[in-house]
């Protein structure tokens, strides 16, 4: 009995530790995003060159993500996450040091590669903790990522407002976040491979199950990327609002997503992943319709809020489903993460090109159409589930730590 209680206590402690790692990961992203203008000026690159450079984080992540499984197998889940999160936080320093386009591209490639590997490792551990607890936690973990990104963004905004050097800002931020991230890893589950377990391939294509699940994530992340980057522009150009009101729309969208993710686990536990994603898709489609039909800023802002509410829990549920879809969770999670990173990369530019050829309203018709995919294809999350998350008898014992 005492052993069972100790194991339950260890799993609960690991949940909070993984949540802290998610928040640290998000804070790095928020810290970087707010200082991109300073980095552009320091590197002396044009807007077009900056656009090229900003493609390299996704490229680095796509190349490196499949390696995360073999790293975890070799060093154990805890040591792997500790090392990868430290590399990710320290990589924050590199872009601000870049003096030209070539070094900026290299720095952002490393930045993306470490981000992607840490992303896979922490999501794999999150899925394992969810399995052992027998209830949904992935939405809340991604909510912590959003909260961390908001904190990092706020600190970066303050630093930019004070005119601080981004090299000093990112050095201090990296130091603090590295300490927090490494210390948090002390309490995550120390999963080790079984003695007879075959090591995963160093590099492998994602399994078919990950491709199907990733397609759902693609639709959600496309809508997220489009809304984050173009919601303010949409209000300014389509509805001729003030800059302040347009910015408030983007902030409201981000906050809606964060709150929905933090509250999403209870809904998933009650209704299950498939029904939750279908209902989320309905909200996202309604939001898209409000956006494209809006003739008043309040209507469009309500549409973006509904869009954020609708897509908030989809990606966490995709990671959870990927982690249960086969014998190699890290490989499946890496596949889903690669697809979603790719979606986030192409969405802003696709919206811009379509808007240039037609209009922003037509661009968000595309977003609305993709949101319909959440309703139509939510069922692919069901076959990959090894357990029914949220039931008392759902817990599946993972590898012995």
Q: Using an 8 Å Cβ cutoff, are 222 and 339 in contact? A: no
pLDDT of residue 395: 35
Token digits for 242? 């003030």
Q: What local confidence, expressed as pLDDT, does residue 394 receive?
A: 36
Q: What is the pLDDT of residue 200?
A: 61
Class of domain 204-384: mainly alpha
**Residue found under tokens 């303010």:** 232
**Residue reference for tokens 């990710």:** 88
| Residue 3 reports pLDDT greater than 80 | no
Structurally, at CATH architecture level, domain 1-188 sits in Up-down Bundle (1.20)
User: What confidence score (pLDDT) does residue 379 get?
Assistant: 92
Quote the DSSP letter at residue 199: P
Q: Where do we find the tokens 């990369």?
A: 345
For residue range 112-131, what is the model confidence (pLDDT) as tens digits?
A: 999 999 999 999 999 999 98
What single-letter DSSP state applies at residue 44?
T
Rounded Cα distance between 283 and 289, Å, is 10
Q: What is the pLDDT of residue 194?
A: 63
What span, in angstroms and rounded, lies between the C-alpha atoms of 371 and 153?
28
Task: Give CA–CA dist 398/191, Å, rounded.
Answer: 8
Q: Where do the structural domains in the chain lie, given as residue ranges?
A: 1-188, 204-384
SS3 content of the chain, % helix, strand, coil (to 5): 80, 0, 20
In terms of phi and psi (left: phi > 0; alpha: psi -120 to 50; beta: otherwise), the region of 190 is beta
H or E segment at 272?
A: none
Confirm if 150 and 23 have CB atoms less than 8 A apart. no
Tens of pLDDT, residue by residue over 142-186, are 999 989 988 888 888 888 888 899 999 999 999 999 999 999 999
SS (H, E, C) 187-237: HCCCCCCCCCCCCCCCCCCCCHHHHHHHHHHHHHHHHHHHHHHHHHHHHHH
C-alpha pair distances (Å), 13 with each of 77, 188, 219: 15, 7, 33
What is the CB neighbour count within 10 angstroms for residue 183? Answer: 13
In terms of average pLDDT, the best of 33-47, 67-81, 199-213, 262-276 is 262-276
Average pLDDT over residues 211-240: 89
| Whether 280 contacts 311, CB under 8 Å | yes
In CATH terms, are 1-188 and 204-384 the same topology? yes
Torsion angle of C-alpha atoms 63, 90, 49, 156, degrees rounded to 10: 130
């Amino acid at each position: 009995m005492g052993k069972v209680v100790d194991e339950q206590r260890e799993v609960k402690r690991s949940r909070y530790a993984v949540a802290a790692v998610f928040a640290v990961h998000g804070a790095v992203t928020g810290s970087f995003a707010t200082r991109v203008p300073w980095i552009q000026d320091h590197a002396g690159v044009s807007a077009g060159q900056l656009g090229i450079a900003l493609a390299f984080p996704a490229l680095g992540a796509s190349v490196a993500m499949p390696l995360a499984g073999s790293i975890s197998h070799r060093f154990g889940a805890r040591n792997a996450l500790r090392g990868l999160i430290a590399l990710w936080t320290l990589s924050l320093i590199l872009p601000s040091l870049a003096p030209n386009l070539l070094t900026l591209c290299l720095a952002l490639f490393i930045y993306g590669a470490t981000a992607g590997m840490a992303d896979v490792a922490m999501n794999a551990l999150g899925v394992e903790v969810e399995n052992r607890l027998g209830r949904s936690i992935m939405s809340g973990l991604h909510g912590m990522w959003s909260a961390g990104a908001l904190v990092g963004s706020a600190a970066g905004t303050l630093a930019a407002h004070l005119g601080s050097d981004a090299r000093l800002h990112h050095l201090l931020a990296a130091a603090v976040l590295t300490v927090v991230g490494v210390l948090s890893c002390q309490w995550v589950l120390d999963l080790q491979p079984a003695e007879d377990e075959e090591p995963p391939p160093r590099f492998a294509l994602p399994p078919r199950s990950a491709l199907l699940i990733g397609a759902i994530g693609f639709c959600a992340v496309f809508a997220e990327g489009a809304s984050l980057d173009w919601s303010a522009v949409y209000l300014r150009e389509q509805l001729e609002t003030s800059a302040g009101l347009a910015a408030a729309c983007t902030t409201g969208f981000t906050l809606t997503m964060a709150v929905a993710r933090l509250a999403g686990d209870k809904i998933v536990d009650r209704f299950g992943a498939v029904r939750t994603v279908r209902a989320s898709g309905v909200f996202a489609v309604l939001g898209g319709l409000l956006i494209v039909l809006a003739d008043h800023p309040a209507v469009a802002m309500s549409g973006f809020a509904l869009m954020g509410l609708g897509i908030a829990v989809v990606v966490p549920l995709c990671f959870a489903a990927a982690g249960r879809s086969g014998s190699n969770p890290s490989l499946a999670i890496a596949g889903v993460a690669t697809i979603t990173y790719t979606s986030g990369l192409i969405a802003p530019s696709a919206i811009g090109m379509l808007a240039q050829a037609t209009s922003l309203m037509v661009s968000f018709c595309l977003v609305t159409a993709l949101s319909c995919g959440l309703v139509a294809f939510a069922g692919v999350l069901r076959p990959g589930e090894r357990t029914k998350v949220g039931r008392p008898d759902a817990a599946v014992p993972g590898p012995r730590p």
